Structure 1
Amino acid sequence: MKKALVVLTNVTRYKGTDDPTGLWLGEATEFVEEIQNAGIDVDYVSPKGGFVPLDPRGMKYVDASIMKMYESDDFQQRALMHSMKPTEVNPDDYFAIYYTGGHGVMWDFPMNSELQKIALSIYHQGGYISSVCHGIAGLFNIKDDNGEYVIKGKNITGFTTSEEILAGKKKVVPFLNEDLAKQRGENFQKKRAYKEFAVQDGHLITGQNPFSPRAVAKLLLAAVN
């Protein structure tokens, strides 16, 4: 079977501040664990390739399974140290693309045209575009051949405004997911803050927050099995 492509951020700090950010570790490892347990391989890509920083806040929520993958040589080397550049990716190799979160993605996912082309190619081949939490930032600007947003009119979810307020980052982030979703004509779905929630609309599968990567993976696996 084809592989899943996991997208990671290269951003090390909140823009305009000294506060560190990066990948929310569990949003990668929990999704990957579910996919690999189903016998499917994954690859890792980031906008610049190479080094992927970790959001220190996310390290407060690790468990044994997250740490096991984090400490593995494969994850250290292929995800955190030597992630692929978009130019190294062949979309034909993948049945799905999955955008991870961590606040850093809000600065390097939305305007990356190379990743958008990869996602659209996978989508056009009958594959799936998926995300969790702030990873929805990677979906907002993907347009089809007619210039329409792929997520227009679709049921999707992502990190909510109330969750951003609770995180204390509402005034720091460049946009709010719910607001941008309305601008794109999406049907933004949400449940209680920081509770697991994922939604599927055709070949789009999205999760609300850091507690939702496994739910995204399970919907994806159910869709292809």
Structure 2
Amino acid sequence: MKKILVVLTNNSRYGKHKEATGLWLAEATEFVDEVTKKGYQIDYLSPKGGYVPIDPRSLKPFYLRESDLALYQSEDFQSRALSQSLSPQQVRAEDYLAIYYTGGHGVVWDFPHDEALAQLAQDIYQAGGYLSSVCHGLAGLLYLKDSLGQPLIAGKTITGFTQTEEVLSGKQSLVPFGTEKVARSQGANFVKKRFFSEFAVRDGQLITGQNPMSGRAVARLLVKALAKN
């Protein structure tokens, strides 16, 4: 069975601030649309399981295509992704060819230090599977360890939401860290293109996308890599 695990946030706020955040919808829907067209099955997971909030800004028409809305409004997505997402304890790493971390600012609180989620990703990687992310979803990769206990992203060419994009988004003062800064501090070769333009890069078993416009680009690189295996 060709399955990919899509990881979503449970976090609905910017820490103690009242402003709402959550999953950036298109970062899930565009990736899922692309890989399911190639015959891959999807399971949805979040650190706690269950309810997944959506960043209200991501529902504005400017950010969505008809395909995003179609998937969002489907009974399957509403149920399995947004209402009844699985928890790490409910899945087995050996069932998945890859894991994909979606973004939205919510993830910088619940992705980085969740031990069960980290172990699941590391097990998929050690079995030869792919670790992929888009935008702030890179937070899920920042503190993963390799088999020697070293930062998994050290020496790897990756990308994610840039410091410039964080400033332009107007949320720099609300988040606990910038993904670009932490990636560099962990020894990664962080690369980027023009802000808010589509960009994704592959380095071995790592496939990462820069911003909300890059979910399909990540999916295409992953599908291409899986097709060669």
SS in 2 for 1:50: coil
Distance apart, 1:134 and its partner CA? 0.1
Instruction: Tell whether 2:113 aligns with 1:84.
Output: no
Distance apart, 1:212 and its partner CA? 0.1
After superposition, where does 1:9-24 map in structure 2 within 5 Å? 9-24=9-24
Quick one: distance in 1 between partners of 2:200 and 2:182? 19
Instruction: Tell whether 2:25 aligns with 1:32.
Output: no
Match for residue 129 of structure 2 among 127, 130, 133: 127
SS in 2 for 1:178: helix
- Partner residue of 1:183? 185
- Partner residue of 1:136? 138
- Show CA shifts across 1:42-93 (max 9, x none): 0000000000000011112112100000000000000000000110011111
SS in 2 for 1:213: helix
Unaligned runs of 5+ residues in structure 2 are none
SS in 2 for 1:123: helix
- Partner residue of 1:64? 66
Q: Which amino acid aligns with 2:141?
A: L
Quick one: distance in 2 between partners of 1:93 and 1:181? 28
| Identity percentage of aligned residues | 58
- Partner residue of 2:76? 74
Quick one: distance in 1 between partners of 2:30 and 2:183? 25
Quick one: distance in 2 between partners of 1:172 and 1:19? 9
Q: What is the root-mean-square deviation of aligned Cα atoms in Å?
A: 0.6
Quick one: distance in 2 between partners of 1:103 and 1:177? 11
Instruction: Tell whether 2:41 aligns with 1:41.
Output: yes
Quick one: distance in 2 between partners of 1:185 and 1:145? 16
- Show CA shifts across 1:121-150 (max 9, x none): 111111100000000000001002211011
Q: 8 Å contact 2:50–2:83 — kept in the other structure?
A: yes
- Partner residue of 2:195? 193
Quick one: distance in 1 between partners of 2:179 and 2:13? 19
Distance apart, 1:171 and its partner CA? 1.0
Q: Which amino acid aligns with 2:8?
A: L
SS in 1 for 2:139: helix
Unaligned runs of 5+ residues in structure 1 are none
Output the TM-score relative to the length of structure 2: 0.97
Q: 8 Å contact 2:2–2:39 — kept in the other structure?
A: no
Quick one: distance in 2 between partners of 1:189 and 1:20? 29
Instruction: Tell whether 2:151 aligns with 1:149.
Output: yes
Quick one: distance in 1 between partners of 2:120 and 2:220? 23
SS in 1 for 2:5: strand
Spell out structure 1 runs of 4+ moving beyond 2 A.
Answer: none
SS in 2 for 1:131: strand
Quick one: distance in 2 between partners of 1:118 and 1:150? 14
SS in 1 for 2:27: helix
SS in 2 for 1:212: helix
Distance apart, 1:2 and its partner CA? 2.6
- Show CA shifts across 1:76-123 (max 9, x none): 000000000110011111000000000000000000111111111111
- Partner residue of 2:50? 50
